[in-house]
Amino acid sequence: MSQIPISALTQVADYFKVLSELSRLQVLCALKDGAKNVTEIIEETSLGQANASKHLKILTQAGIVKRQSQGVSVYYQITDPMIFDLCELVCQRLKIQLQEQSQALKDLDGLRQL
């Protein structure tokens, strides 16, 4: 990554900042199965209307979510489903870390019993 220009790294950092908020991750999970309107997202996430709208705006500005008007409703959907591959990679890494920590605790417990 040392070959990547600072301006590009700034964009990568900004992208991860958008994903670093729990409520935004909840919104993304709500949209995983397809487009939803704000009411459906609120029902699925238990976020308040103002909070959900704020996070949808941030996700839209980041280009992760797009909005589409259908009659009097606005529907939101994921622009690139690859976002879930990224989330899966993170989850897999966290699982490995937790397994390693669990094993270390078992090893410590074994030493205590000696």
Q: What is the pLDDT of residue 40?
A: 98
Whether residues 67 and 91 share a domain: the answer is no
Whether residues 22 and 71 share a domain: the answer is yes
Whether residues 26 and 40 share a domain: the answer is yes
Rg of the chain, C-alpha, whole Å: 19
Q: What is the pLDDT of residue 1?
A: 59
Write out residues in the chain with pLDDT < 50, as ranges.
none
Number of domains comprising the chain: 2
CB 52 within 8 A of CB 95: no
Q: What is the pLDDT of residue 58?
A: 97
Closest by Cα among 9, 22, 11 to 87 = 22
CATH number at residue 21: 1.10.10.10
Whether residues 69 and 87 share a domain: the answer is no
Whether residues 5 and 59 share a domain: the answer is yes
Instruction: Please give the residue range of the domain that contains residue 66.
Output: 1-79
Q: What is the pLDDT of residue 106?
A: 86
Whether residues 50 and 89 share a domain: the answer is no
For residues 108 and 89, give the distance between their C-alpha atoms in angstroms, rounded to a whole number. 29
Whether residues 46 and 71 share a domain: the answer is yes
Whether residues 102 and 67 share a domain: the answer is no
Q: Is the pTM of this model over 0.85?
A: no
